[in-house]
Amino acid sequence: MEFKAELLERTEAAEQVVFSFLPEEEGLQKTIFSAMNYSVQAPGKRLRPILMEETFRMFGGRNEAVLHHFMAALEFIHTYSLVHDDLPAMDNDEYRRGRKTTHKVYGEAMGILAGDALLHHAFDTAAGSFLLADVDLGAAGKALKILTEKSGINGMVGGQVVDVEMEGKTLNDEQLDFIYRLKTAALLECAMMIGATLAGADENTVSRIEMIANRVGIAFQIQDDILDRISSTEELGKPVGSDEKNHKMTYVVLHGLEDSEKEVERLSREAVELLDSFEQEHTFLKELIVSLIHRRK
Ligand code: GRG
């Protein structure tokens, strides 16, 4: 199958999995369910669950029911981070995924609560996998630990903290790399590491996968910075020029557009080279990584 058609198929399949774990909109607290569903159902790329599933397949994973719980959990965490990132105290943005941001529709308090709720729901969903038939509890436990670490204070939240503190300041390459590694790459590492772990891969293999996802994640963030400069709100589904508005030092500010594009290409090629050192079949995963180099959204 042609790559674009295959990607569409995988995106729709991942979406069905994620949506199947969303709450019913009923009960006295139904506003929070509605805000959670609004945020998750907005059209995202579903990159993290797709990466998780592909890595799981690459290593011959079998228990898809367990995988599905973790795919949904990670997309919930990613979505909570976007909801909170858009809040007035953070980037204060009005559009996300082509729609009004959650706090613009439901109000600021409900925006905060929707993010909190998605975070809790993520861990409830992941923990639910422990109760499934034929679950490898050791692998599920390791996957839960990866999810916690990569999204928390030594992962995404930690990166966001430094990013916020450094607003308006000049950063060097090392500091910028720290922020990108934690803020963005950590969740992509999380996706691929959990896929490999649930498929039963050993520790050394999971570390090699972490390294690949790290390169993909940093390239992904630099491309995000490039698009913030050169794209349009219509194409991106979120405001452009957001980094400048928030006085954010980015790779593009530090190195210019041309060198940033070269760096995205270099990191992605390095990821592909590392991936090619595996004998397991990984055609779609490789095509996906290459497609991200020139992504427009
Ligand atoms: C804890 C209050 C509180 C806030 C947390 C951690 C955090 C806020 C925000 C995370 C930082 C962040 C949004 C990083 C950017 C990563 C990034 C490039 C996200 C966009 O991902 P895509 O393009 O989005 O995959 P879609 O919409 O396609 O899913």
Tens of pLDDT along 165-209?
999 999 999 999 999 999 999 999 999 999 999 999 999 999 999
Asked if residue 51 has its Cβ within 6 Å of ligand 1, the reply is no
Residue nearest to atom 3 of ligand 1 (CA): 84
Asked if residue 151 has its Cβ within 6 Å of ligand 1, the reply is no
Q: What is the pLDDT of residue 69?
A: 98
Q: Ligand 1 pocket: which of 11, 82, 187 to mutate (most atoms <8 Å of CB)? A: 82
Asked if residue 224 has its Cβ within 6 Å of ligand 1, the reply is yes
List the structure tokens of 84: 């909170």
Q: Which pLDDT tens digit goes with each residue over 67-120? A: 999 999 999 999 999 999 999 999 999 999 999 999 999 999 999 999 999 999
**Close Cβ partners of 126 (under 8 Å, ≥ 6 residues apart):** 69, 70, 73, 143, 144, 147
pLDDT reading at 146 higher than 90: yes
Determine the Cα–Cα distance for residues 143 and 146; give it in Å rounded to an integer: 5
Q: What is the pLDDT of residue 245?
A: 86
CA of 90 to the centre of ligand 1 (A): 11
Asked if residue 195 has its Cβ within 6 Å of ligand 1, the reply is no
Residues 227-242, mean pLDDT to the nearest whole number: 93
Mean pLDDT of the chain: 97
- Please name the residue ranges forming H helices in the chain: 3-19, 30-41, 47-58, 64-85, 102-106, 108-128, 137-151, 156-165, 173-180, 186-198, 203-230, 233-236, 242-245, 251-276, 283-293
pLDDT reading at 246 higher than 90: no
Asked if residue 48 has its Cβ within 6 Å of ligand 1, the reply is no
Q: Where do we find the tokens 């409830």?
A: 124
Q: What is the pLDDT of residue 34?
A: 98
Asked if residue 47 has its Cβ within 6 Å of ligand 1, the reply is yes
Asked if residue 188 has its Cβ within 6 Å of ligand 1, the reply is no
**100 by DSSP, 3-state: which?**
strand
Q: What is the pLDDT of residue 1?
A: 82
Q: What is the pLDDT of residue 159?
A: 98
Q: Is the four-CA dihedral 80, 85, 86, 89 of positive or negative sign?
A: positive
Distances (CA, A) of 94 to 36, 98, 147, 234: 17, 10, 29, 13
**Close Cβ partners of 266 (under 8 Å, ≥ 6 residues apart):** none
Q: Which of 50, 102, 109, 112 is nearest to 75 (CA)?
A: 50
Residue nearest to atom 18 of ligand 1 (CA): 221
Asked if residue 218 has its Cβ within 6 Å of ligand 1, the reply is no
Q: Which pLDDT tens digit goes with each residue over 34-71? A: 999 999 999 999 999 999 999 999 999 999 999 999 99
* Ramachandran angles phi, psi of 65, nearest 5°: -60, -40
* Ramachandran angles phi, psi of 35, nearest 5°: -65, -40
Q: Is 24 left (phi over 0), alpha (psi -120 to 50) or beta?
A: beta
Asked if residue 97 has its Cβ within 6 Å of ligand 1, the reply is yes
Task: Give percent of the chain with pLDDT exceeding 90.
Answer: 97
Determine the Cα–Cα distance for residues 189 and 193; give it in Å rounded to an integer: 6
List the structure tokens of 265: 């290409």
**96 by DSSP, 3-state: which?**
strand
Query: Please, which residues bridge with residue 100 across strands?
Result: 95
Determine the Cα–Cα distance for residues 76 and 290; give it in Å rounded to an integer: 26
pLDDT reading at 282 higher than 90: yes
Q: Identify the band that residue 122 occupies on the pLDDT scale cut at 50, 70 and 90.
A: very high
Q: Where do we find the tokens 């590694």?
A: 181
Contact 75, 194 (CB under 8 A): no
Asked if residue 214 has its Cβ within 6 Å of ligand 1, the reply is no
Q: Output DSSP code: residue 295.
A: -
Q: Which atom of ligand 1 is nearest to the CA of 237?
A: 27
pLDDT reading at 268 higher than 90: yes
